[in-house]
Amino acid sequence: MNRTYLDVNPEVNTALAAGKPVVALESTIISHGMPYPQNVETALHVEQLVRDNGAVPATIAILGGRLKAGLTPEEIAYLGQTGQAVTKASRRDLPVLVAKGMDGATTVTTTMMIAHMAGISIFATGGIGGVHRGAETSMDISADLEELANTPVMVVCAGAKSILDLGRTLEYLETHGVPVLGYQTKELPAFYTRQSGFELDYRIDSPAELAKVFQVQRDLGLKGGILVANPIPEQYAMDFHVINQAIDEAIAQSVKDGIHGKATTPYLLAKVKELTGGDSLASNIQLVYHNAKLAAQTACELCKLKEEKT
């Protein structure tokens, strides 16, 4: 993969060269997922949690047309303060943003791409995108799913965002051969809630097991990534019925307002936050912390496996 436009943070570069664990982190959650200053505070705390669990954080973004694997605190603050004025960058946006020297906040898709380009195998996020409700007529399917089918990065998340059609999302991933692993669960978590009603094929109970599955996938030469569904901690989970009622209302309002495309997810998340009195934002922050810890622990175990092979 061409690294001409890639800048790897010196700390991240040193860790990768030494075979140390590194965890990629996305930046859309900073610019589009939360209000300022909570977005910056959360991003910096996530980085610290990755460090506390033995790995080096690499928050990923596009700044001045450069693909960045690892940001400084000042760069994170810039993304948080600039907010939604920063382009939400998916795969189709990369060549334009780079060519024009623009800024971009990376989605799951572009974070996976840049992480792989830099040599980072583990990525922690909040929730992935997926098949939107009504996609049978709108054809609105997140590029995250196609990236998982093609890019060899393990994505640790709290399941697919509950604003989506979870059944069709799982079907899409199965069709494209993406392993979906429940961490200490056999039910697909749905972002704000641990429940979804959809059963998973595989339950994995430790970071060491997760690392082993990923290593075997690489050894077998199978393309694509692995999705780890890590349920939000029980004390921060929202009531299944309350959150689904809020989502139904938010979707109905989005239709009235003519929201579509890449504006859909930020709109729905903001509307759900409004309808739940802010409870969804608090849950969002906690599930991101939870995923960062597990990703860091898994990255450490993956490094151990690689050391044993050499």
Give the burial string for 191-216 (b: 16+ CB within 10 Å, else e). Answer: bbbbbbebebeeebeebebbbebbbe
Nearest CA-CA partner of 125 in 139, 138, 141, 142: 142
Amino acid letter at 32?
H
Q: Which CATH superfamily is domain 1-120 in?
A: Indigoidine synthase domain (3.40.1790.10)
Please give the Cα distance from 179 to 149 (Å, whole number). 9
Nearest CA-CA partner of 175 in 218, 131, 135, 138: 131
Q: Which fold has domain 128-310?
A: Indigoidine synthase fold (3.40.1790)
Q: Are strands 226-229 and 180-183 parallel, antiparallel or unpaired?
A: parallel
Nearest CA-CA partner of 133 in 301, 251, 310, 54: 251
- Whether 128-310 and 1-120 are alike in CATH topology: the answer is yes
For the chain, the structural domain boundaries read: 1-120, 128-310
Residue 261: its pLDDT value, please? Answer: 67
CB atoms within 10 A of CB 146: 16
304 is an active site residue: no
Q: What is the pLDDT of residues 277-290, one digit of tens each?
A: 666 778 889 999 99
CB atoms within 10 A of CB 74: 7
Residue tagged active-site, from 161, 262, 271, 273: 161
Kind and range of the H or E run holding 152:
none
306 is an active site residue: no
Q: Which stretches of the chain drop beneath a pLDDT of 70?
A: 1, 133, 135, 137, 261-262, 265, 275-279
> Could you give the C-alpha distances from 185 to 201, 243, 302, in angstroms and in order?
10, 20, 21
pTM of the model: 0.91
Nearest CA-CA partner of 226 in 304, 295, 279: 295
Residue 132: its pLDDT value, please? Answer: 73
Q: Are strands 56-63 and 104-106 parallel, antiparallel or unpaired?
A: antiparallel
